[in-house]
């Protein structure tokens, strides 16, 4: 259902606060998110430093940020599934596994991207 509220700076600020609340909750309650944040804190500055040109820098930092985004979505799926169906159900397990697979694919893309861009510089 579409919102009938007027949009403006107050609503943008409120949305920002909700986003920060979500980031804090993920960091506080999700060990995987914390680990991926710590990895991003290392690889994002490295990507900015090691990338040659703007395009390489963008590519090297985009995938770690996408991993964090996918982890947030995965955690949200898991929380909703656990709330709706606390007992085990095949579909609930499938939804959680698919969310985890999305994070895995992006982590693999981080490795492939970094390997293709930086591998030849350091290995050859």
Could you list the active site residues? 71
d(CA 80, CA 20): 19
């Amino acid at each position: 259902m579409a919102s009938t509220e007027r949009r403006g700076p107050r609503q943008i600020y409120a949305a920002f606060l909700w986003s920060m609340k979500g980031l804090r909750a993920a960091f506080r309650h999700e060990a995987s998110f914390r680990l991926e944040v710590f990895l991003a804190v290392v690889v994002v500055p490295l990507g900015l430093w090691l990338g040659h040109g703007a395009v390489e820098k963008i590519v090297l930092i985009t995938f770690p940020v996408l991993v964090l985004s996918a982890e947030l979505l995965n955690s949200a799926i898991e929380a909703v599934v656990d709330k709706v169906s606390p007992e085990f159900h095949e579909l609930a397990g499938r939804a959680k596994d698919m969310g985890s697979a999305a994070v895995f694919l992006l982590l693999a893309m981080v490795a492939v991207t970094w390997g293709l861009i930086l591998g030849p510089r350091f290995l050859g």
